[in-house]
Amino acid sequence: MGRNLKFRRRHLPRFPKPIKKTRRRIVERLLIVMIAVSLAGAFLPSVIDKNFFTGNIGSGTGNARIIDGDTIHIGTRKIRLSGIDAPESKQKCTKKDGRSYGCGNSSRQYLSKLIGVATVRCTGDKKDRYGRTIGTCYVGETDLNAAMVESGWAVAYRKYSRLYVPEEDSARLNGLGMWQGEFINPWDWRRKNRK
């Protein structure tokens, strides 16, 4: 039996000498990092809205929160509707009969009505000086930017784009939205009321 034991010892695989403590700590930390990364890779896709990013840095889809007639929030992203300018929240306009009304609030309400509870899809990859994504937004096939100008609750922002000038011309001819009376262009109102 003793002889058999010696035989086994000779043919057993040799194990390396124990790893030094510092080397062992490095290996343990690497294993922890690798496990954490693999767990994060498995967990994060279920947390991130896969539809929010659709190719470029400014594209997004989701439920919108309306800030004013030309700005919405989708998740944490603030999106400024490109090519249009809507009256500011505190801006007043005048109807044909001379009565003043809150056209900024009316513009916001109209955008809210257009969106309702629908999912909004936006595309754009530029940012303005306030860090907002400049984009074109849609509900289904409806271009919200164009719809706001066509309804008369926003104007074509000619300084940056002439894309929505035909919609503005149509709204003006039909006396829609702000065109039912008199108003100051939003960019002029902001300059005049800057504090």
Give the residue numbers marked as catalytic. Answer: 80, 88, 132
Pairwise CA distance, residues 122 & 59, whole Å? 5
One-letter amino acid at 194 equals R
Q: Cα–Cα distances in Å, from 37 out to 28, 30, 47, 48? A: 14, 11, 15, 16
Question: Which single residue is written with the structure tokens 């498995």?
Answer: 42
Pairwise CA distance, residues 165 & 159, whole Å? 11
Residues sharing a CB contact under 8 Å with residue 91, sequence separation 6 or more, in sequence order: 102, 103, 104, 183, 184, 186, 189
First to last CA, the chain: 100
DSSP reduced 3-state for 144: helix
